[in-house]
Amino acid sequence: MRPSRFAAVPILLVMLLAAGTACACTTIVVGRDASADGCVLVAHNEDDAPPEVVLHRKVPRRTHDAGARVRLSGGASLAQAAGTWALLWSEMPGESYSDSYLNEWGVCLTSNNCPSREDRVDLTDGGIGKMLRRVVADRAKTAREGVRLAGELVERFGYQAPGRTLIIADPREAWLLCLVRGRHWLAWRVPDGEVCVVANSYVVREVDLGDAGRLLAAADIADYAAERGWHDPAESFDFARAYASPNAAEHPTNWGRQWAGLRLLAADPPAFGPDLPASVRPKRKLGVTDLMAALRDHYEGTDLAHPHPETGDPHPGRPGTLCSAHTQTAFVAQLRTGEPRDLKLVYWVCLGRPCTGCFVPFHFGVPDFPAGWRAGGPDRPDPDTWRAWVAPPFRPDAQAAYATALNFQVRVDGMYGQRIGALRDRLDGIEARAAWLQESFEDTARRLIRRDPDAATAMLLDFSRGFHAAALEAMSETLSEE
């Protein structure tokens, strides 16, 4: 750490420690020219307070009867599409804004809570909330199409939540759709040659409202801000300054995580502090393993790392870490161009916290996720069920994948400093092997698809199962060395 750049760190560290732990998601978006694969990459840590369960499933293409309606949580409805696309769905039952999707066209959606300063409620029939991203995933063939559809729905119904950044990406471009409570929104296209990190406050700053290639927005986005006294029309339009909740924008758990991601990935890491750039040039072409490593960060190598003095656990009371005490699952979406999309779209999923977990690759062509990844009911677990999952001893059960991940991370947390080195050597090796085998495996699968599509989809599922089994074995070996 260079002293000149981080002279203010001790003071800001006190601010971080005083801020308390927050439930907060983090997303990293890599433009296609900034990635090693020449495609858009999306990485996300989903943070929510337990008890939780995360379910993964594949939803096939569906046709719908004429007159079918999509019911919204506020009571409104809209006409269902005649047909909806196939999806990979990461679901958190009981949570309204925690689901992520990847559809058959490579349109990927996830989100971060980003409170706005809007204090007026302007909704029609209760507005739209949770179903916004599902409708986009069901219908959009490109990210831009998804942004336009979402904008139309927000203007029609009004957005229920205080504010959010919805990431909508496809193999060629990625957008940050900044949603404000009510009918205002702005979408900014991530530059192709840059990487972007989003925590829990809007990151889109000064924008050119006339640049339709990189910006889409509600027609009165600047005029309304000026009317409310949030924007001076004589100055350039700064979306975040105008619309972000000041508490969220100034909170160190938000800009701290944004800085943490940028310091790991940027060619010229920004100084520690607020008012960070939305996107930067990366230090090199980034691949999926770079993003996995970033999602595991707890400020290691800086003065902000503050593990528990006895266990070495980096999570409790350490606000602002990318991998937090409340991270429930993580993914890296590899949105490659070309055919077949069943092989080009890969959803690397980690259950539980990424620091103690392993990212398992799922190609879009899998017939479904393994049964153990789908295990769970329509509701979040009750506290007694959740406590049973995490109670000792460790039970490596492929039929209860999420519960196994939670049980394991609790075991590791108790002696994190002693266990994490050997654990990461094992799990990093599994991820590296999956990445190394990917090209040759996909070549074989591509040839098999032409001859026997059913055998090819079974092969894809076996590929995923194999790496999950290897991860469970590595977990058992780590704990057996106590």
- Averaged pLDDT for residues 128-138: 98
pLDDT band for position 316 (cuts 50, 70, 90): low
Task: Give the pLDDT mean for 20-40.
Answer: 86
Q: Quote the pTM value.
A: 0.95
Q: How confident is the model at residue 319 (pLDDT cuts 50, 70, 90)?
A: low
For position 395, what pLDDT does the model report? 85
Q: What is the pLDDT of residue 175?
A: 98
Tens-digit pLDDT profile for residues 168-210: 999 999 999 999 999 999 999 999 999 999 999 999 999 999 9
* Nearest residue to 291 via CA among 354, 352, 361: 354
**Stretch 118-142: mean pLDDT:** 97
The share of the chain scoring above pLDDT 70, in percent, equals: 94
Question: What structural domains does the chain harbor?
Answer: 9-369 (3.60.60.10)
% residues pLDDT > 90 (the chain): 91
Closest CA to 267 of 284, 280, 291, 283: 283
CB 409 within 8 Å of CB 356? yes
Query: What average pLDDT score do residues 388-409 get?
Result: 94
For residue 318, what pLDDT band results from cuts at 50, 70 and 90? Answer: low
pLDDT value of position 23: 52
Q: How far is CA 102 from CA 48, 148, 331, in A?
A: 21, 18, 11
- Per-residue confidence (pLDDT) for residue 230, from 0 to 100: 98
- Residue scoring higher pLDDT (301 or 103): 103
> Which of 221-225, 308-312, 360-364 has the lowest average pLDDT?
308-312
Q: What are the structure tokens assigned to 330, written together?
A: 């993580």
pLDDT at 482 over 80: no
**According to the model, what pLDDT value does residue 392 have?**
86
| Out of 302-306, 339-343, 453-457, least confident range | 302-306
Is the per-residue pLDDT at 465 higher than 70? yes
Query: Would you say residue 307 has pLDDT above 80?
Result: yes
Long-range contacts of 390-399 (CB under 8 A, 24+ apart): 394/475, 394/476, 394/479, 396/472, 396/473, 396/475, 396/476, 397/372, 398/370, 398/372, 398/465, 398/468, 398/469, 398/472, 399/371, 399/372, 399/375
Rounded average pLDDT over 26-43:
98
pLDDT at 290: 98
pLDDT of residue 442: 98
pLDDT score recorded for residue 9: 36
Cα angle for residues 324, 24, 319 (degrees, 5° grid): 50
In the predicted model, what is the mean pLDDT of residues 70-81? Answer: 95
